[in-house]
Structure 1
């Protein structure tokens, strides 16, 4: 039994929401479509999976586990009617950790002026250069992509080693900002990114399903410093999810790598998902990619 990390996919990022009707409507304004819904009335929560799914979308028509760039919204029953309930967004002290999701668009100026314009913590970047979009007055959501999810990390060396050596991702771009004392690292599956080119010098602007690690200088040397993982109270961001070619073999490989587990396949009621912990205690869900292969047990 073997697993091939080159076939892994950064499937989705999970965010908790207070009111699913309003949140689904918002992401539909961004051009996404509801591609799957999983209801769990016994446990009193529902899951909504949204993605770009126009005919020109990267993963159009594929099984939801055989995609990248999905947003999973988790709704716990009753929160929508609780005036005291709030979601922590990961960008305010003392609960910083998760930063944002990012959508790449064909014309950033036109997108800002349209009903699909984003609100706080949804970053918007351009697929095209300023010169290429200067004469374009419209935007087409059919060209949009869920480009990346950003999380902050304490020790960039440990996190880069984990996501490359353990999770099998490739480092596709590094953006160093010494004057502001932070670096950005973009990782993902699939082919390596070109060295140059892309919109405004960004060769991965047209990619889908990337993970951005933000490292602020000095955090790695502070023994008391830690980020909020979104699952400790107060809650917000939940996890990222990787779909794999063979779930049992992938989990056996993770075991050999000595990962920290939040949930093994054999634990709990759900035997079709596992959760690995990264160096900052963020949760990584692992599921079977059911596009090419269905897990029978």
Structure 2
């Protein structure tokens, strides 16, 4: 048994268009920039987004020299977020046109970001 205690701090995804991704994450999920790393060389920018509630962050990494879309394979990995107004969130995401999969039997759905990463949306009761 381990004596050390680990705790989650962030998840990273790489994005092609940083401004488009920042706009999406704020509009779709209310995530806002909490920290930025941008060396003078301009070769990369890392932005941490927070939900304003938990300490967990989503790290967006933009690489200046990257022009090809990222290969997400089968895209079976995802981040999950709970929301206090599930129906309102669903209507908002439907208007944005970003719902990519719904599982009505489980009471969940997924949205996809500009780079096609999937994000699972759950009602608060399932968190």
CA RMSD of aligned residues (A): 2.5
After superposition, what is the alpha-carbon deviation per residue over 1:274-297, rounded to whole angstroms, capped at 9, x for unaligned? 0100000001000011179xxxxx
Give the counterpart of 1:211 among 50, 55, 58: 58
Residue of structure 2 in register with 1:226 after alignment: 69
Preserved contact between residue 93 and residue 99 of structure 2 (Cα < 8 Å)? no
Is 2:126 the counterpart of 1:287?
no
Preserved contact between residue 229 and residue 280 of structure 1 (Cα < 8 Å)? no
Unpaired segments ≥5 residues, structure 2: none
Q: Distance in 2 between matches of 1:150 and 1:229?
A: 13
* Offset at residue 249 of structure 1 (A): 1.6
Residue of structure 2 in register with 1:278 after alignment: 113
* Offset at residue 246 of structure 1 (A): 2.0
Residue of structure 2 in register with 1:162 after alignment: 24
Q: Distance in 1 between matches of 2:98 and 2:59?
A: 21
TM-score when scaled to structure 2?
A: 0.85
Please list every run of at least 4 consecutive aligned residues from structure 1 whose deviation after the TM superposition is greater than 3 angstroms.
none
After superposition, what is the alpha-carbon deviation per residue over 1:33-68, rounded to whole angstroms, capped at 9, x for unaligned? xxxxxxxxxxxxxxxxxxxxxxxxxxxxxxxxxxxx
Preserved contact between residue 110 and residue 118 of structure 2 (Cα < 8 Å)? yes
Give the direction of change, closer, same or farther, for the CA distance of 1:248–1:271 in structure 2 (3 Å limit).
Answer: farther
After superposition, what is the alpha-carbon deviation per residue over 1:6-43, rounded to whole angstroms, capped at 9, x for unaligned? xxxxxxxxxxxxxxxxxxxxxx85x7xxxxxxxxxxxx
Give the counterpart of 1:147 among 3, 6, 9: 9
Residue of structure 2 in register with 1:190 after alignment: 52
Preserved contact between residue 85 and residue 123 of structure 2 (Cα < 8 Å)? yes
Larger strand share, 1 or 2? 2
Preserved contact between residue 46 and residue 61 of structure 2 (Cα < 8 Å)? yes
Is 2:80 the counterpart of 1:241?
yes
